[in-house]
Amino acid sequence: MKLKILKPLTLIASTLLLGASFTSVYADEPVSANVSLATDYVWRGVSQTSENPAISGGFDWTPSENFYVGTWASNVDFGGVENIEVDLYGGWATELSNGVGLDFGFIQYLYFDDAADVDFNELYAAVSYNGVSGKLSYDVDNKNTYIEAGYDYELSSGLGLGFHIGNYSFDGGGDYTDYSIGLSGTFKGLDYGLSYYDTDIDDLSEADGRVVLSISRSF
């Protein structure tokens, strides 16, 4: 999934590879888990940990071929007392005979030990084909919209190269664009990622360009 730009717009001045990825509906096992260490937690171009490291993890359950539910959690820091984010999500996904992937779902963002109520809910719809993806997320509580597109390409070395661009538009006025480019690969059972993130926001240090290294493991 995360303002969290630092969440709703009220937090923007104070707000792996999950972002535009799609949940697989063809998992070998109905239950899976993941854990990750990263030098920063960047969501829609903005650090959610005040530019500090993050540890995160989650569980996914696919009760049938097309339906999925899951939860994911990470430490966060918006300069206040917030310290934990928990996401709950579920949806329906499929791949058509022509190779087009479709994904429709709902995600709830929950923040614990937060002085203000910044929890919110999003509906999303995504489409993918041959490495190209697009996704629309709508915040039903704050009426904000995030549109994103990505392209993933496997290099001959076995590494993956990914590009992403998104635009966050706020019901209260204003918007910003974020983009990223990253490399990913697997070595000795661990997944590694190295990505560069940036936005066109000028007055928020958490939105400046940054390089993020991540190490994760799926079970």
Arithmetic mean of pLDDT, 78-100: 91
How sure is the predictor about 166, in pLDDT bands with cuts at 50, 70 and 90? very high
pLDDT at residue 115, rounded to an integer: 64
- What the chain holds in terms of domains, given with CATH numbers, is 9-218 (2.40.160.160)
Q: For 61-84, how does the pLDDT look when each residue is reduced to its tens digit (9 = 90+)?
A: 999 889 999 999 999 998 766 689
Spatial distance between the Cα atoms of 192 and 32, rounded to a whole number of angstroms: 19
> Tokens in use for 27?
């998992």
- pLDDT higher than threshold 70 for residue 108: yes
Give percent above pLDDT 70 in the chain: 84
pTM of the model: 0.87
Q: For 34-51, how does the pLDDT look when each residue is reduced to its tens digit (9 = 90+)?
A: 999 999 999 999 999 999
* 150, 20 contact by CB (below 8 A): yes
Spatial distance between the Cα atoms of 14 and 93, rounded to a whole number of angstroms: 35
pLDDT at residue 23, rounded to an integer: 42
What is the longest distance spanned by two Cα atoms in the chain? 49
pLDDT at residue 27, rounded to an integer: 52
How sure is the predictor about 114, in pLDDT bands with cuts at 50, 70 and 90? low
- pLDDT higher than threshold 60 for residue 12: no
